[in-house]
Every structure is written in structure tokens, then in C-alpha cells.
Amino acid sequence: MDSSCCPSLFPLHRCKTIHLVRHAQGIHNVEGDKNYKVYMSPEYFDAHLTQLGWRQLSYQVDNLRKHVHASGLIKKIDLVVTSPLLRTIQTAVGVFGGDGYSDRMDIVPLMVANAGNSDRDAISSLDCPPIVAAELCREHLGVHPCDKRRSVSEYQYLFPAVDFSLMESDEDILWKADVRETKEEVAARGMTFMKWLFTRKEKEIAVVSHSGFLFHTLTAFGNECHPLVKKEISSHFANCELRSMTIVDKGMIGSDPPTANYPGKIPSGPDLPSEAADEKDEKKDTSNSLHQS
């Protein structure tokens, strides 16, 4: 029987659920769809979200936020990892952040009012999963100004409760004006990112990233699957699209012990399961035969 037609099993503690999100519509997306050369314009440095991206029509940040709450995902997600670019951080805090911020000395806002020309009220850091920025899930590095980030100091002012401790440096040392990553390099960085996710203790993680990064990373997966599953895994993301997937540790990357397994406390003696008892008797008979001979 063709094994590809059968479901497969894998230990639960060697699996991790990830919810992948592409950022909402950025100002560079609007003009770039009309003329690709726009992506070379310094005007779109670290592009922020459009007003459509935030709230107009029936989709994007507000609509995804409603879905995340209505589906119960917000209660399951242990951590949100975001690319450290303005449009992804705005999406992450808008979708997964708390409600409106009330000025309290003991609570730091997740986002200050009008961060990145958002025309949004401040967002609270209460009742939401922690949000951490990571360089590994950035968009294609180099050449396009829209993919160059600001200084961490500037982001920390705009998003006080977002964790930037994983950032390599205050200034962007990864983006180069004259060298753009190849697709293969983006995919390799994506695989490194996936391995890093598996070292995290959290079991359910949301990732807010970019079209190119998600596409080239996910294209590396699913080669052993049915073609339709492979297509489902690696197709391009729409703005503010969310897809939930499971990553599996087949190479003993993770070291967490199983938390749901139970050994059964099988007693010794005649109460062994029949298969185990038969196996034990066979070994005993073989040992006796060898001893007698």
C-alpha cells in the first residue's frame, strides 16, 4: 500500500503549532503593485501601514483581530514573534495586542498613539501574549529601502512593551544598499528561524512576517506531501492572511519531555499485558535451553 496515502503519526511533544501572518497592506504595496520600481524609492523607507491596512473595508488588521478573538486563538497563543519592521510590528500589536490603553503608571503601553502615522489610539499591553522582535524573520535584505529597519531606540519609543532584546544592534547592520539576498539565502535564513522556534519553550507561537520571507521559507517544506498539500503550504500570502500549521521535530532538535504521556505503571508479575508476558516467557525458555545445553 502506498504510504503516502496513509496518515502518519508523530509524538505530540515533538510538534509545535505556528500561526503565520503576513503584515497588513503597507504604503509600498499600493504603489509597488502599479510600478515595481517604487520599491527602490527612499520615500518608502521602512514602510508603514496604509489606512486600509488598519481598518477600512472588511479586512486587514481589525478584521483579523476579530477572527483571532472569536476563534479563541488569542487564548492559545503563548508568544508572538514579529519581524522588526514598522509594518509588521504595527500588525502584530494591532492583531494580538490588548485593548485601548488607559494611562497608568504601572502599565507600559504596547504602542503609543499614532505610532508610524497609524492614526490609532495607544494599545495596551494587558491581557495579550508577549511580543518579541526577531531579525531572522525579516523580508528580503538589501537594496529596497522599504525593507530597511529603523533603529531599535526609535522602535522602543513607539512600542514600549515590545521585547527588542534579541536584536543584534541598535542600527540596521544587515541591510545593504547594493546587495540583495538571493531566494536561496532567504530560504536558508527561514530554515534557521524555524529551528530557532523549536528551541523556544512555547508550544503555540504566532509569527508576523512578510510575503517574500514566508513564500521562500515555506517552499522548502512539503516535498514529501501530496502536491495539493505542498501547494497549500507554500502559496503566496495575502495581506493580513493567517495560516495555522504544525512544525515537527524529526531530528531531535527539541529537548522538552512529554507532558501528556503517562507510563501506565504496569505491575510486575502475572499482570503484564499479554504480548509482553508472551515475550518474557519466550526469552525465559530460550535462556533455559541454552543453560541446559
Active site residue 144: no
Catalytic pick from 31, 135, 139, 181? 139
Q: What is the DSSP letter of 17?
A: E
Return d(Cα 90, Cα 22) in angstroms, integer: 12
List b or e across 56-89, with b for residues whose CB sees 16 or more CB atoms inside 10 angstroms: eeebbbbebbeebeeeebbeebebbbbbbbbbbb
Active site residue 139: yes
124 and 99 Cβ atoms separated by less than 8 Å: yes
Cross-strand pairs, 208: 21, 82
Cross-strand pairs, 111: 123
93 and 133 Cβ atoms separated by less than 8 Å: no
155 and 164 Cβ atoms separated by less than 8 Å: yes
Catalytic sites, residue numbers:
23, 139
